[in-house]
Amino acid sequence: MAQTLAPLQQRPDPRGHYAGFGGRYVPETLMQTLIELEREYSAVAADRDFQAELATLLGEYAGRPTPLTRVRRFADSLPGNHRIYLKREDLLHTGAHKLNNSLGQGLLAKRLGKKRIIAETGAGQHGVATATACALLGLECIVYMGAEDMERQKLNVFRMRLLGARVVKVTSGTETLKDATNEAMRDWMANCDDTHYIIGSCVGPHPFPMMVRDFQSVIGIEARGQILEAEGRLPDHLVACVGGGSNSLGLFHPFYDDEAVAFWGVEAEGEGIATGLHAAAVNGGSVGVFHGSMSYVLQDQDGQITPAHSISAGLDYPGIGPEHSFYADTGRAKYVPVSDAEALVALQEISRLEGLIPALETAHAISQVAKMAGELPPEQIILVCFSGRGDKDVFSLQEHISFDE
């Protein structure tokens, strides 16, 4: 049987802390639900039947393992003569890594006898992945989405409805992800007996950051085996974009103890940190509480969460997961900013040179590779998480890119 879940680790501690980050900053009524979920998750995750069923779904339905692709023409366009590999999560069903988590949590919910699933979504990618998993597993699916986001992401709203999900329009606050998250939490508090809440990244109160990390670790477990097969040694660098931090942690986590492997988390710098229009929680934020846990977040002096900005909807989140905050403070990973403009250049380069149109999120990671190629010692092995395909972005790209007739 293929291994898809990372072995249980020391982190977080039993109360869900990553050296001070994380935890459960939630109303009393949710505490018991979270404690129960953690207990149930630990039992289910260790169960071989569950692991086997998940591995089968990931293989036969979602298309795992995804390939590792060496990109020679892109590497040749850069200084340093590096060997660059992409872990192809764009080839996963629905076009990005998010389905790994939605399938894992959907199956978990089924095991726990919970037939009703709720989720929150900003751009709609997590909503589509969750609606897909629910259709497959025969679960009811309700997705909370801000009214403003529904307007901006009509196609994904339509997709979710085709897949049988009910999309609930959230009209409170700024009518975006932050408010949709609050509504989903409220629903969960009222209905936790028959409802499971599928959070879409390594964020939220414990055990969510750990659970999502474990379900996404299939990325790093596969990549580790594949690079050893291809090169006979581990990579020197892992690079991934960071929204909440699930594709990156999924890649990094299985390499945590390999100290010679450097981790690069790429944050969305938007229009520049100084402009305030960015989503760089480590580089431009500070420690605070958001979405039920302690982490680096974007906030004002009163601790009010401030809106994030990025050209890529999937990185447009005003925080970063607690395990990333821990990596940042301990120096295990470096967090580097890449701007909207830089991501757009990288997207066009890799499309032209390799025939791979990345998601705008993914383009941030590609840009970082291009930026650092000349500064590294030569002939390094660089492994990048190619988190998603760009089809979803082509309409908005037309506003930024034009070609001569």
List active site positions: 98, 120, 387
Tell me 274's DSSP state: G
- How do strand 195-197 and strand 166-170 relate by DSSP bridges? unpaired
Site map (CB under 6 A) of ligand PLP, residues 146-175, x = contact: ------------------------------
Among 22, 65, 235, 244, binds ligand PLP (CB under 6 A): 244
List, in order, residues 6 or more apart from 57 with CB less than 8 Å away: 103, 107, 136
- How do strand 83-88 and strand 68-70 relate by DSSP bridges? antiparallel
Site map (CB under 6 A) of ligand PLP, residues 202-241, x = contact: ---------------------------------------x
Least distance in Å: CB of 367 to ligand PLP? 13
List, in order, residues 6 or more apart from 194 with CB less than 8 Å away: 114, 115, 116
Question: What is the per-residue burial (b if ≥16 Cβ within 10 Å, else e) of 137-156?
Answer: bebebbbbbbbbbbebbeeb
- Of 369, 291, 295, 368, the C-alpha closest to 329 is 295
Least distance in Å: CB of 115 to ligand PLP? 26
Among 246, 293, 325, 339, binds ligand PLP (CB under 6 A): 246
- Which residues within the stretch 249-308 sit at the binding site for ligand PLP (CB under 6 A)? none
Site map (CB under 6 A) of ligand PLP, residues 374-403, x = contact: -------------xx---------------
Among 239, 359, 366, 369, binds ligand PLP (CB under 6 A): 359
Alpha carbon distances (Å) from 6 to 26, 46, 51: 27, 10, 11
Quote the CA–CA distance of 150 and 336 in Å, as a whole number.
31
Site map (CB under 6 A) of ligand PLP, residues 88-127, x = contact: --------x-x--------------------------x--
247 binds ligand PLP (CB under 6 A): yes
The owner of tokens 């999120």 is 361
Least distance in Å: CB of 313 to ligand PLP? 8
Among 106, 235, 243, 285, binds ligand PLP (CB under 6 A): 243
Which segments of 281-339 does DSSP mark as H helices, in order? 281-284, 322-330
Least distance in Å: CB of 43 to ligand PLP? 26
Q: Are 202 and 245 in contact (CB under 8 A)?
A: yes
245 binds ligand PLP (CB under 6 A): yes
Please give the radius of gyration of the chain, using alpha carbons only, rounded to the nearest integer: 20
Closer to ligand PLP by CB, 65 or 95: give it. Answer: 95
Cβ atoms < 10 Å from Cβ of 14: 7
Q: Three-state SS string across 79-125, please?
A: CCCCEEEEEEHHHCCCCECHHHHHHHHHHHHHHCCCCEEEEEECCCH
Residues in the chain: 405
- How do strand 17-18 and strand 21-22 relate by DSSP bridges? antiparallel
Site map (CB under 6 A) of ligand PLP, residues 170-209, x = contact: -------------------------------x--------
322 binds ligand PLP (CB under 6 A): no
Stretch that binds ligand PLP, among 243-251, 275-283, 291-299, 395-403 (CB under 6 A): 243-251
Stretch that binds ligand PLP, among 48-56, 68-76, 113-121, 244-252 (CB under 6 A): 244-252
Closest-approach residue to ligand PLP (CB): 388
Using CB under 6 A, list all residues that contact ligand PLP. 96, 98, 125, 201, 241-248, 314-315, 359, 361-362, 387-388
